[in-house]
Amino acid sequence: MICLDSIKYSFFYTPRACIGSYKSTKRHLLTSSRIRKIYTRSCTMQQHHESKEHTKFYKFLKDVLRNIPNNYPRSYHLKEFGWNDFNKIGSIHPHCHVGNIQLATYQHSPSLGESNDFSFFGRSLTLNFLPAYHDTNFVSRPVRYDSYIAFLGRTSMYVGIDLRDATSEALYLSSIMQCIAMDVNKGTPVRIGSEIIKKYVDKTTLNTPPQRHQFLPLQPDNGDVFRWKTTVQCSDVDYNRHVNQTPYLRFMYDAGSSAAVAGSLRSFHHELIHYKLKTYTVEYMQEIRQGKELVVVCWEMDDNPGTINFELQVGDRTVTRSHLIFDVQPPAKL
């Protein structure tokens, strides 16, 4: 009898309960449908907005590069660095060079032609700051970025970029960037056209591509690491809605400076702008999108003073590896 009563009551509902349940379900379905429509409309508007930004960006880029002389190596001239290019101690923000190097690299991109279906995306970058760079006052100093194709492969090219004094020809900085040819619409690598290869076949400076840099991996049991968190803002992303090359170095400087001030780095005790940067090497592994929480992990090995290793992580994924090598004096032995 107890079992029968239990079964009976399990199937028994009052009319009011049924009506209430129906109204709640109907309201939930209508709300869900409305949210789904708003989300779909938002995604469509966002895609349309991104497409418009993509077109505006390439129009802007063509306008910038139109007046550059069509010589080789290509040269991007700066009459002087802007006020915001300098930090609070009067030296240039290193990430400003990354932006100018990217612009110099765009001069060799076939996407600047009639079709915008494919473009070159940065895969890795190395900057070498020469001693003359740190001995020079760049206020009101005209400079230029000379760029050339160092190596051309099936789906990638290596662009060399040199920062020189426009008057004395002094070399301040040398760099090389690996760029992958990508289909903008599909997001997949594509082969570089034969017309591009013919154009540069006699101008490349390397017979083989540079060796891929081997970064020091983060050891799970290594407790001597510093973690710095930030959220990717609107100003950190480009027309593709992912972080551009320039903010990466800015993130690392902020994280490294915080680690140094906190006493987490053996050779550094002040903000990184107070030390002479010798080399910056970075490998872009995955995209970082707007709104994502980014964790920058940095550490310094005891047997390699002056080198700060970085990993940029989104969730459980490592999206970027890098290191900064500074000219620092070894700590005094007590």
Q: Where are the domains of the chain?
A: 49-212, 214-334
Same topology, domains 49-212 and 214-334? Answer is yes
**What is the rounded distance in angstroms from the CA atom of residue 96 to the CA atom of residue 331?**
30
pLDDT in tens, the chain (334 residues): 444 344 333 434 444 444 444 455 555 555 555 555 554 454 444 444 455 566 676 676 667 666 666 678 888 889 999 999 999 999 999 999 999 998 888 887 754 444 556 777 889 999 999 999 999 999 999 999 999 999 988 888 899 999 999 999 999 999 999 998 888 778 788 888 777 777 777 888 888 888 888 888 776 555 589 999 999 988 888 776 778 889 999 999 999 999 999 999 999 999 999 999 999 999 999 888 889 999 999 999 988 999 999 999 999 999 999 999 999 875 444 3
Torsion-angle region of 92 (φ positive above 0: left; ψ -120 to 50: alpha; else: beta): beta
Q: Which residues contact 197 (CB under 8 A, 6 or more apart)?
A: 152
Around Cβ 19, how many Cβ atoms within 10 Å? 11
Domain range 49-212, its CATH number among 3.30.1360.120, 1.10.287.110, 3.10.129.10, 2.30.30.40: 3.10.129.10
CA distance 172 to 128: 9
Query: What is the rounded distance in angstroms from the CA atom of residue 226 to the CA atom of residue 256?
Result: 8
Q: Report whether CATH 3.10.129.10 matches the domain 214-334.
A: yes
pLDDT at 4: 39
User: Model-level pTM?
Assistant: 0.78
